[in-house]
Amino acid sequence: MGRNSINDINIIYDGIGSYNPTSKSATYKVVLPVLGSGQSYRFGDSNNDIFNYTDRGNGVSNLVFIHVSVDGVDPDTDLSAVNDPSNVYLETYTFNLSNAIKKGPDDFDFAQDITVIICHDDQYDLPTFMQTLKKAKSTPDWWPNKLGSGLLRKL
């Protein structure tokens, strides 16, 4: 039996973190590929917004979507800046859940964990993707090129 390598698993864009239910401040650590000189990750959409898609009536509890893009490449539609899965690091992203734009009908339940979905696709913007997904009776024709997930645990 051979040894496993980083190419045998996909942890890129996955993460774990915690949040304070009183202040709503969150710290999320996400696995990301190392970028080239002059390039950096940006969290949130073009306005640095994150989105709350909680919809308990449809079985979606505590769901936050965070769009990730790469600055220093314009635009990185084929994600060529992040194609080396053997060179990764843990990025810390801090944000406040009270700033999440509410796209679902429900607020976060701050007594529970919050699911995080990280979406990286410089070709499609996250709000358009989510509206298509909500309206579709089946899976949309396109998905973001890179997705990851994780949890924010209540402190």
Q: In one letter, which amino acid is 152?
A: L
9 vs 83: CA distance, rounded Å: 14
Residue 72 has pLDDT above 80, yes or no: no
**Which of 11-15, 16-20, 83-87, 112-116 comes out lowest in average pLDDT?**
83-87
Residue 113 φ/ψ, nearest 5 degrees = -65, 160
Q: What is the pLDDT confidence band of residue 37, given thresholds at 50, 70 and 90?
A: confident
* Per-residue pLDDT reduced to its tens digit, 74-127: 665 555 655 566 678 899 999 999 999 888 889 999 999 999 998 876 555 555
Q: Where are the domains of the chain?
A: 6-154
75-111 residues labelled b (16+ CB within 10 A) or e (exposed):
ebeebebbeebeeeeebebebebeebeebbebebeee
For range 130-137, the mean pLDDT: 61
In this prediction the pTM is 0.77
> What SS3 state is found at 131?
helix
For range 28-49, the mean pLDDT: 84
94 vs 20: CA distance, rounded Å: 12
The rounded Cα 93 to chain-centroid distance in angstroms is 11
